[in-house]
Every structure is written in structure tokens, then in C-alpha cells.
Amino acid sequence: MRSYTLLACAKINLYLEIVGDRADGYHELAMIMQSVDLCDRIHIEPSGTDSIRVTCNHPDVPCDSSNLAYRAAELMRSEFPEYFARYGGVNIYITKKIPVAAGLAGGSSNAAAVVVGINLLWNLGLTQGECEQLGAVLGSDVPFCIRGGTALATGRGEKLSPLPDLDQLYVVLAKYESVKISTAWAYKTYRATYEETYIRDPEHIEAYGQKVHSGPIVRAIASKDSAIITEELRNDFEKIVLPEYPQLVSLKQRFIEAGAIGTLMSGSGSTVFALTESHSEAERIKAYIEQELHHPDLKLWVAQFSPTGIKVSE
């Protein structure tokens, strides 16, 4: 029985609006998600035993059931017990490149790769849509991580509408290693401050998603108008995260000073990204920030927008 190696892309949010409350306790969102080609490598092989084992090269990543990739394998085992009985357990080796706890969906993307990888390993024949449905059980961002590209995400973040690929853009990602923001904290703090603005009525919520779909940023993506895209960048989490972490505000200022066409925090942070229209410009801005801030705790990466989420590596 063969093994599979998959590349699991990071994502950034070009737009993240917290719209309201849902009956399931989650927040209703309107987001534009974009895959970028900073990828973790996930190798999946039959273990020859009946257990699931996760190994990772990054010291901060747990290898037990608190790892979403582990939970993805458990989900596949419980959904397809007859295939598990036939093929047995799996060893999952994760080589991290995506920074951890960074607002880049690294954990969700690893789980997405495990769903796609086990579908191949066990010859389940699931469609991408069926893999995405399983992914939604694991986490709100997992369906997007499976699909990748550019998409409008509504609901908890799991309802996806594809948008045209934005292949002309590059990104510089910057993260202070010591700044770790818990997503649960970010949602709780946002709720405590802005709850009175939340929309609750399902009809209004539905209309809201449609408003964003026909709004300026989606139109700008369709016409590949980088100037308007950068004007329309939005992340509601910035309202509560930036006042707590002034170094992220300085980072954004430095990116603009360096000539980035736009800058935003991704997800609930703490990664801040800058957009450029060429690879060389992204490398120049990265070098500028490294030299100007010269902070041992600050790590930077250059990546290109990617049209895919999970890729099977040759």
C-alpha cells in the first residue's frame, strides 16, 4: 500500500467582517480567504498497526489528540470503520513551515491534508465537496483549506463561494514569535466590546453575505484591480488586537513606509501581511523590514497567492 505526501497551504484573510451571532454560539462571518504558497508538508503512510500516530518537527506542536490533524484521522476512522478495519492505522509526519498560532490556519490546513490524504490512502473515492463537509466538522476554516484559491466564506466560515484567482499578488508575512493570540480570546473580547452591533435575524444575515458578494472588494477581485482591493482590505479583529499589541501597528506602518500596496492583520493574528505586485518587490520589502526593525523575535516570509489548497506532492 502506498503513502502520500501533501502540501498544505497557509491562508490569509483579505476581508474579515464579524457580522453577528449564530444559534450555535459561533459568530456569523463574511470573509475573503486567500491561499498562499507557504506550505506545510504532510506525509501519510499506513502504520501496520491499528493506531494513529502524529510526529511533527516543530517543538510547539502537540502530537496528541489536541492536534487537529490527529482529530482529522480519528474522524476518518469513525466515519469509515470498515475501511479502517481493512487498511489499519496511519502515521502522519508534519513538517511545519507555516508559523504556529499565527492566524494563517496552519492547524486547519494540516487537518485538511489528513482528510484528503486518507481519502486517497483508503481509496474512499470522496469528492472534494464531501471532503469539505467532513472538514467542517473539524473546524470552520478546514473546508477552505481543502479547496484553496480565493473564496468568499460566510456562515461560521465554512460556506464557500469561489472567486476568480488573484494570481498577480505576492505577500510578505511578518510574525513576532512571542506574540501569540488565542482565537477564543479574540472572539470573546470582540463580543464584549461590539455585541450590541451584532445582527441576529437570519434573513438579515443572509442578505449581509449577499451584500459583501456584490460589494466593492469582490468586484475588484473580479477585475483584478489591486488598488481597490488594497483600499477595501478589512479585518474586524484589528479593532481589539491592535490596541493591545502596538508592535503590530508599527509593523503595518513600516510596511507602508517600505512601499507595500496594502497591509492587514490575518485572522485573529498575530501575523501581519503586506501585499505587493511582484516577487522582487516582496523580497525588497522583507529585506527592508529585517534591516529597519532588526528584531530577533520577528520572522518574515515571502509567498505568492496560490490557486489551490491541498496539493498532492509528486
**Catalytic center residues:** 11, 141
Q: How many binding residues for ligand C5P (CB under 6 A)?
A: 11
Q: Which stretch binds ligand C5P (CB under 6 A): 26-34, 73-81, 93-101, 249-257?
A: 26-34
Give the one residue of 4, 26, 83, 288 binding ligand C5P; rule: CB under 6 A. 26
**Site for ligand C5P, residues 29 to 68, rule: CB under 6 A:** 29
Output 143 or 148, the one with its CB closest to ligand C5P.
Answer: 143
Binding flag, residue 159, ligand C5P (CB under 6 A): no
Q: How many CB atoms lie within 10 A of CB 7?
A: 19
Rounded distance between C-alpha atoms, residue 17 and residue 199, angstroms = 12
Binding flag, residue 156, ligand C5P (CB under 6 A): yes
State the nearest-atom distance from the C-beta of 183 to ligand C5P, in Å.
5
Output 156 or 219, the one with its CB closest to ligand C5P.
Answer: 156
Give the one residue of 140, 226, 230, 235 binding ligand C5P; rule: CB under 6 A. 140
C-alpha torsion sign, points 12, 14, 19, 22: negative
Which 3 state secondary structure label does DSSP give 175?
Answer: strand
Q: How far is CA 77 from CA 29, 87, 93, 104, in A?
A: 31, 10, 18, 27
Which string of b and e fits 9-20 if b means at least 16 CB within 10 Å?
bbbbbbbbbbbb
With residue 252 as reference, give the H or E element that holds it: helix 246-257
Binding flag, residue 184, ligand C5P (CB under 6 A): yes
Residues 197, 287: contact at Cβ < 8 Å?
no
Binding flag, residue 103, ligand C5P (CB under 6 A): no
State the nearest-atom distance from the C-beta of 74 to ligand C5P, in Å.
15
**Site for ligand C5P, residues 104 to 133, rule: CB under 6 A:** none
- Rounded to 5°, angle at Cα 226 from 223 and 228: 80
State the nearest-atom distance from the C-beta of 10 to ligand C5P, in Å.
15
Binding flag, residue 23, ligand C5P (CB under 6 A): no
Look up residue 30 and give its amino acid. A
Q: Which residues bind ligand C5P (CB under 6 A)?
A: 26-27, 29, 139-141, 156-157, 183-184, 187
